[in-house]
């Protein structure tokens, strides 16, 4: 539908931004925190820096929250580091870790900013990984339950919006890249057992939240990449549907309907895969009634048919930031992804497609009829401080303007969207590109080569976004 006026956002719409503990906090070995697997993984990403300091949010959270408040934020999405709460297997929470998050939450509430808290964002403690072989052993289910219940009891009096697991689908689809896969040779089958164990952990979190948090709401955070058919050829349409199922819909159907859909059950049968479902598992999952979807969306993909005789091709992401280095995947007999001639691309070969935001919100609303919040969306790029001491990022402003406008159009289309939180508030450590690939509204004065003074420099996009927030989406600048 075309509208004759700009989007109108709900009066209680929450505006904010996002981060994750391991990418923003630093202080990885302070106040009792132990190592996470992702800490060790980040040390391997040379020539980029690791996450030992990152944006130093652990020591500078008050300064950061002050900047949020000055921009008019009404929400802030962040995660709790599991190894900061349980640095070992004693079963005794680390009080200093709890104190940090209490202080952060209280600081946010003091400035009328709603905390949106993610329980798991890639930072599995090393001791958990060693004891349970990562996500492979069902013993992790009870340890995860112990962790989330501790968080609900410690923070649930003030935190009412919770997220279970960040981008579970991406952790399965890119298991080797994100450190989930333990054996590449058997991952084709293993990943569905791992996925089921993660689904059990998600279910434990949902059940515990509703049990322990008064008026608590909880939902998953899938990584969402809308997938278009390459052409109007019917085979391309089916290929796009196949890609949608195997990268997103299988997970979202499980979250919303609390059972595995027919497509994945057929896929398991055809490929002789045992997903490891045990007696009582589906009964627990059936109790995990989510309250909303949180959605991470940066881009779209395009799919076309892939013959059964084609050679398989792994999805090779562009890690260099030089255009043209991404290699699209081929899954013979199901789909292949391909270049979309109708959209622009970033230096990392990610599609710049604001309409994908509206498409996603319409799709998820049509399928699940649950409220939605955006928990990640942004533009990664090389930023620099100019001679005037400022950071001019007009291309990020244009990106955010186009994306948020499409969120507004989706709301006018009838979608129930409650919050927008782009990635990220400050520059933080990128999963694969250190501090070089920057997403923040606020520049952090540090580089991969040396730690500078970590000064916070609000970018032009920060001021633009602040004006938009203060007008509740009316002043597009």
Question: Is 391 in contact with 427 (CB distance < 8 Å)?
Answer: no
The pLDDT of 463-472, averaged and rounded, is 96
Contacts of 274 (CB under 8 A, 6+ apart): 189, 192, 193, 268
Looking at residue 43, its pLDDT comes to 63
Q: Please state, in angstroms and rounded to a whole number, the distance separating the CA atoms of residues 270 and 261.
A: 15
Looking at residue 291, its pLDDT comes to 98
Structure tokens at 219: 């939902």
Question: Is 460 in contact with 390 (CB distance < 8 Å)?
Answer: yes
Residue 476's pLDDT band, with cuts at 50, 70 and 90, is: confident
Q: Please state, in angstroms and rounded to a whole number, the distance separating the CA atoms of residues 376 and 238.
A: 28
- Report strand pairing: 293-296 vs 344-345: unpaired
The pLDDT of 152-165, averaged and rounded, is 98
376 is catalytic: yes
Looking at residue 45, its pLDDT comes to 62
Q: Please state, in angstroms and rounded to a whole number, the distance separating the CA atoms of residues 443 and 459.
A: 6
Q: What is the pLDDT of residues 36-62, one digit of tens each?
A: 988 877 666 666 766 768 888 999 999
Contacts of 351 (CB under 8 A, 6+ apart): 299, 300, 301, 340, 343, 344, 345
Looking at residue 224, its pLDDT comes to 96
Looking at residue 174, its pLDDT comes to 87
Looking at residue 324, its pLDDT comes to 86
Question: Is the pLDDT confidence value at 392 over 90?
Answer: yes
Which among 20-24, 273-277, 310-314, 317-321 has the top mean pLDDT?
273-277
The string over 336-363, giving b where at least 16 C-beta atoms fall within 10 Å of a residue's C-beta and e elsewhere, is: bbbebeebebbbbbbbbbbbbbbbbbbb
Q: Please state, in angstroms and rounded to a whole number, the distance separating the CA atoms of residues 454 and 452.
A: 6
Looking at residue 429, its pLDDT comes to 80
Query: End-to-end alpha-carbon separation of the chain, Å?
Result: 24
Domain ranges of the chain: 14-226+347-470
Whole-Å CA distances, 121 to 31, 106, 168, 352, 445: 20, 22, 9, 25, 25
Residue 320's pLDDT band, with cuts at 50, 70 and 90, is: confident
Look at residues 134, 304, 158, 162 and name the one whose alpha carbon lies nearest to residue 219.
Answer: 162
Residue 65: phi and psi, rounded to 5, are: -65, -35
Residue 477's pLDDT band, with cuts at 50, 70 and 90, is: confident
Looking at residue 396, its pLDDT comes to 96
Question: Is the pLDDT confidence value at 67 over 90?
Answer: yes
Q: What is the pLDDT of residues 431-454, one digit of tens each?
A: 767 778 899 999 999 887 888 888
Lowest mean pLDDT among 82-96, 204-218, 308-322, 461-475: 308-322
Q: What is the pLDDT of residues 247-297, one digit of tens each?
A: 999 999 999 999 999 999 999 999 999 999 999 999 999 999 999 999 999
Strand partners, 420: 15, 374
Strand partners, 351: 345
Is the pTM higher than 0.85? The answer reads yes
Looking at residue 452, its pLDDT comes to 84
Q: Please state, in angstroms and rounded to a whole number, the distance separating the CA atoms of residues 173 and 317.
A: 12
167 is catalytic: yes
Contacts of 298 (CB under 8 A, 6+ apart): 225, 350, 376, 377, 378, 423
Question: Is the pLDDT confidence value at 85 over 80?
Answer: yes
The pLDDT of 197-219, averaged and rounded, is 98
Which residue in the block uniquely carries the two structure tokens 């994100």? 178
Residue 252: phi and psi, rounded to 5, are: -65, -35
Lowest mean pLDDT among 104-118, 353-367, 387-401, 442-456: 442-456
Structure tokens at 8: 């109108």
What interhelical angle do 57-71 and 95-110 show, nearest 10? Answer: 10
Strand partners, 373: 294, 419
**CATH 3.20.20.80 holds for 14-226+347-470:** yes
Annotated catalytic residue: which of 107, 167, 245, 351? 167
Percent of the chain predicted with pLDDT > 90:
82
Which residue in the block uniquely carries the two structure tokens 């597009």? 476
Half-sphere exposure of 8 (CA within 13 A, CB side): 6
The pLDDT of 318-328, averaged and rounded, is 86
DSSP letters, 356-411, are HHHHHHHHHHHHH---EEEEE----B-----TTS----HHHHHHHHHHHHHHHHHH
Looking at residue 366, its pLDDT comes to 97
Strand partners, 344: 352
Q: Please state, in angstroms and rounded to a whole number, the distance separating the CA atoms of residues 128 and 370.
A: 33
Half-sphere exposure of 420 (CA within 13 A, CB side): 27
Residue 367's pLDDT band, with cuts at 50, 70 and 90, is: very high
Looking at residue 283, its pLDDT comes to 98
The pLDDT of 27-36, averaged and rounded, is 93
Sheet of strand 293-296: strand arrangement: 217-221, 161-166, 114-120, 75-79, 14-18, 417-420, 372-376, 293-296
């Amino acid at each position: 539908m075309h509208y004759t006026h700009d989007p109108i956002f709900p009066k209680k719409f929450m505006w904010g931004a996002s981060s994750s503990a391991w990418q923003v906090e630093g202080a990885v070995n302070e106040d009792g925190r132990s190592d996470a697997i992702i800490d060790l993984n980040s040390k391997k990403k040379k020539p980029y820096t690791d996450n030992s300091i990152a944006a130093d949010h652990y020591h500078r959270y008050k300064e950061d929250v002050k900047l949020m408040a000055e921009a008019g934020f009404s929400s802030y999405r962040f995660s709790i580091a599991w190894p900061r709460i349980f640095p070992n297997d004693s079963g005794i929470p680390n009080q200093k870790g709890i104190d940090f998050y209490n202080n952060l939450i209280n600081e946010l509430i003091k400035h009328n900013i709603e905390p949106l808290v993610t329980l798991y964002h890639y930072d599995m403690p090393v001791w958990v990984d060693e004891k349970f072989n990562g996500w492979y052993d069902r013993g992790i289910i009870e340890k995860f339950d112990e962790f989330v219940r501790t968080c609900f009891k410690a923070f649930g009096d003030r935190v009412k919006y919770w997220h279970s697991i960040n981008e579970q689908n991406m952790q399965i689809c890119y298991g080797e890249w994100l450190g989930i896969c333990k054996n590449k040779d058997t991952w084709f089958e293993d990943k569905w057992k791992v996925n089921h164990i993660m689904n059990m952990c998600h279910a434990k979190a949902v059940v515990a939240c509703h049990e322990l948090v008064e008026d608590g709401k909880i939902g998953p955070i899938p990584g969402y990449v809308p997938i278009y058919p390459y052409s109007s050829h019917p085979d391309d349409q089916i290929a796009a549907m196949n890609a949608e199922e195997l990268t997103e819909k299988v997970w979202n159907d499980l979250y919303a309907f609390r059972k595995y859909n027919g497509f994945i059950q057929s896929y398991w049968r055809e490929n002789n895969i045992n997903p490891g479902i045990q007696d009582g598992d589906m009964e627990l999952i059936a109790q995990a009634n989510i309250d909303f979807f949180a959605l991470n969306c940066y881009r779209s993909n395009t799919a076309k048919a892939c013959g059964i005789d084609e050679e398989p091709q792994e999805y090779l992401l562009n890690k260099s930031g030089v255009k043209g280095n991404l290699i699209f995947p081929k899954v013979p007999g199901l789909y292949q992804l391909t270049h979309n001639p109708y959209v622009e691309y970033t230096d990392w070969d990610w599609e710049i497609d604001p309409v994908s935001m509206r498409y996603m919100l319409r799709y998820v609303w049509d399928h699940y009829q649950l409220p939605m919040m955006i928990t990640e969306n942004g533009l990664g790029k090389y930023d620099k401080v100019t001679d005037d001491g400022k950071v001019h990022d007009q291309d990020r402003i244009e990106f955010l303007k186009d994306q948020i406008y499409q969120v507004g159009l989706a709301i006018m289309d009838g979608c129930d969207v409650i919050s927008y939180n782009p990635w990220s508030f400050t520059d933080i450590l990128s999963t694969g590109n250190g501090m070089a690939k920057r997403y923040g509204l606020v520049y952090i004065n540090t580089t991969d080569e040396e730690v500078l003074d970590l000064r916070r420099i609000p970018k032009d996009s920060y001021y633009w976004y602040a004006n938009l927030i203060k007008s509740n989406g009316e002043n597009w600048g």
